[in-house]
Amino acid sequence: MDFVVIDVETANADVSSICQVGIATFRDGALADTWVSLVNPEDYFSPFNISIHGIDEDRVGDAPTWERVFPQVASLLQGRIVVSHTPFDRLALARACDRYSLARCECTWLDSARVVRRAWPQFSRSGYGLSNVAAYFGIDYQAHDALEDARCAGLLLLRAVDETGLSPEEWLARVERPIYLAGCGVARSHRKGGRQYGASQAPGKTRQESFRR
């Protein structure tokens, strides 16, 4: 059960203005590695976005630009199942690559928000933002930090896999089908208890519900 989760924060309303990127790698059903970097978006920071993630011009002054960061990002995503919570992060990567005339990496995208909406009926219509779902399942994480958001989305996918019996590969097909589909991809239990994902960290390693979350 291998997949990679990516999350980004942006400097302003332009989704190409990535100022932080975090990637969590899951292997054999567990968090195996993490990578995070601040990014100089070569753009202005809006007060609203700063209030969300706390990143401003001073923090990214010496950070690499997307053009310099992307080779490392691409090496982690290429050919993999790549998870993001809502299409925001996928769109941001595409727009940032277009901005710098970089070829997009080839990978298979899986939207964990669509997984959540199908795995647990209580989140099918609303409340499927990362913070809300994490709180429901007792996952402790720091919202609006790119690496923490990526880690949390990955832990939610692991829980969905465990409770529905569908693998990440099977979820790729399930998220393309209607939310309400009798007997397909629904968690066996809707209780908060049970196996508690999010309690452990990778050994030795150190986001407004709407379209954004």
Cα–Cα distance between 34 and 22 in angstroms, integer? Answer: 8
Residues facing 6 on adjacent strands = 23
Q: Do 78 and 130 fall within a single domain?
A: no
Please indicate, yes or no, if residue 85 is contained in any of the structural domains: yes
Please indicate, yes or no, if residue 38 is contained in any of the structural domains: yes
pLDDT tens digits for the chain (213 residues)? 899 999 999 999 999 999 999 999 999 999 999 999 999 999 999 999 999 999 999 999 999 999 999 999 999 999 999 999 999 999 999 999 999 999 999 999 999 999 999 999 999 999 999 999 999 999 999 999 999 999 999 999 999 999 999 999 999 999 999 998 765 656 655 444 434 333 333 333 333 333 333
Q: 73: domain CATH number? A: 3.30.420.10
Please indicate, yes or no, if residue 191 is contained in any of the structural domains: no
Q: Do 104 and 53 fall within a single domain?
A: yes
Q: How many structural domains does the chain have?
A: 2
Q: Do 21 and 104 fall within a single domain?
A: yes
| pTM of the predicted protein model | 0.86
Q: Do 7 and 103 fall within a single domain?
A: yes
Question: What is the arrangement of strands in the sheet containing 3-10, beginning at the earlier edge strand?
Answer: 30-38, 18-27, 3-10, 81-84, 108-111
Nearest one of 174, 193, 165, 161 to 118, comparing CA atoms: 174
Tokens representing 153?
């989305």
- The parent domain of residue 10 ranges over 3-108
Q: Do 53 and 143 fall within a single domain?
A: no
Q: Which residue type sits at 72?
A: Q
Q: Do 104 and 119 fall within a single domain?
A: no
